[in-house]
Amino acid sequence: MFDRENIFLPPTFENYLKAIWNLSQEGKVVRVKDLADALNLRGGTVVSGLKNLAQKGLVVHHHYGHIELTQAGKIAAMEVIQKHSVLYDFLRNGLKVDEKTAEMDACSMEHYISKETYHRLIHFLEYIKEKLSMEQLHKFLEEKVNPNTIRLSEVEDDTLVLVKSIEAPKNIKQKLMDLGILPNKLIFKEKEAPLGDPIEIICGGIHISLGKREAEKILVIKKETIKLSKAPRGNFYISFLKASSIQAKKLTDLGIVPGKIVEVLENNEGSIKLKIDGNILILDESIGSFIYLEAYHDKK
């Protein structure tokens, strides 16, 4: 760790150098106040920090308040900035970590990574980018990290899915959320358009047409379900009501609430007899076709 001309700089000081460099790149004359603002520190703290850096010969703090990096300081600043961009590249484009996490992790890793690891990392990146299919790598990573997760665009028709995450850009994500497509919500993939794109989904009882390019950004987990109208006798979880909020309300008031356990007693053509919360209900088949059930595994 002492390999930068045998000077070890604590992370905060590296941030000083980075901030001074960035400010001077903007063409400004750097003063204590600017630096304090950029680092979100008090002026006094910054002054003592600068003193320390000046002793190490990295910074010149002129009497009239003007701060400058020395040649050695510039080199040190550049090194940190370069490390940051390499690490960010590795995290974001190699490991496919999301933007924010990549930025934050790069910010903390840049201070502690050894020269050796850093150099090897640069060549490692070079190698995987050239020799490996990044797409396959990312797919592999995704499958390992989020098992069972697939893209909404790949889900077959007539399937219930649980939204895991939305990876779309901010404005698209917001629009999706405004329509009720939120993480941990159940949505129903109804069908594809005749030409294969877009797809139709049902969310909160509302039908939405979604381009495949947008659906690709939504990661979901498939749910194995069966319609109540087709359920054999036995116990099930109520999973999803494919109905508008108002229709759903009618069902939930009968006790048909997602998450509850229902016992199908009889399923004749046309009507279904079921038991829920100890009450016996008889439902029409057409209503039964809007209620989706999941298998219930009795833990004995």
Q: How far is the CB of 80 from another protein (least distance, A)?
A: 19
Nearer to another protein, 11 or 211 (CB): 211
Under 8 Å between Cβ of 293 and 238: yes
Nearer to another protein, 121 or 204 (CB): 204
Decide: is 26 part of the binding site for another protein (CB under 8 A): no
Tokens representing 54 are 């000046």
The total number of residues written for the chain in this structure? 300
**49: Cα separation from own chain's centroid:** 37
Nearer to another protein, 48 or 171 (CB): 171
Which stretch, 50-58, 232-240, 243-251, 269-277, contacts another protein (CB under 8 A)? 243-251
- Options 175, 230, 233, 260; binder of another protein; rule CB under 8 A: 175
Decide: is 213 part of the binding site for another protein (CB under 8 A): yes
DSSP codes joined into one string, 150-184: EEGGGPPSSEEEEEEEE-S-HHHHHHHHHTT--TT
Nearer to another protein, 196 or 232 (CB): 196
- Options 219, 231, 287, 291; binder of another protein; rule CB under 8 A: 287
**285: Cα separation from own chain's centroid:** 40
Tokens representing 84 are 């940051």
Decide: is 10 part of the binding site for another protein (CB under 8 A): no
Angle (CA) 91-221-154 rounded to 5° is 85
Q: How far is the CB of 178 from another protein (least distance, A)?
A: 4
Binding mask 80-99 toward another protein (x if CB under 8 A, else -) reads: ------------------x-
Nearer to another protein, 110 or 214 (CB): 214
120 vs 192: CA distance, rounded Å: 47
Decide: is 146 part of the binding site for another protein (CB under 8 A): no
Spatial CB neighbours of 179, under 8 Å, sequence gap ≥ 6:
203, 206, 208
- 137, 17, 132, 29: which is closest to 78 by C-alpha? 17
Q: Are strands 271-276 and 225-227 parallel, antiparallel or unpaired?
A: unpaired
36 vs 245: CA distance, rounded Å: 53
Q: How far is the CB of 211 from another protein (least distance, A)?
A: 3
Size of the site for another protein (CB under 8 A): 54
- Options 26, 130, 253, 269; binder of another protein; rule CB under 8 A: 253
Q: How far is the CB of 55 from another protein (least distance, A)?
A: 28
Nearer to another protein, 101 or 117 (CB): 101
Decide: is 230 part of the binding site for another protein (CB under 8 A): no
- Options 3, 197, 224, 266; binder of another protein; rule CB under 8 A: 197
Decide: is 208 part of the binding site for another protein (CB under 8 A): yes
Binding mask 30-49 toward another protein (x if CB under 8 A, else -) reads: -------xx-x---------
The residue assigned the tokens 């090194």 is 79
CA distances from 112 to 80, 87, 106 (A): 10, 12, 10
Three-state DSSP at 6 gives coil
Three-state DSSP at 255 gives coil
Residues in contact with another protein by the rule CB under 8 A: 37-38, 40, 98, 100, 104, 165-166, 168, 170-180, 182-183, 191-198, 200, 204, 206-211, 213-214, 243-247, 249-251, 253-254, 284, 286-287, 290
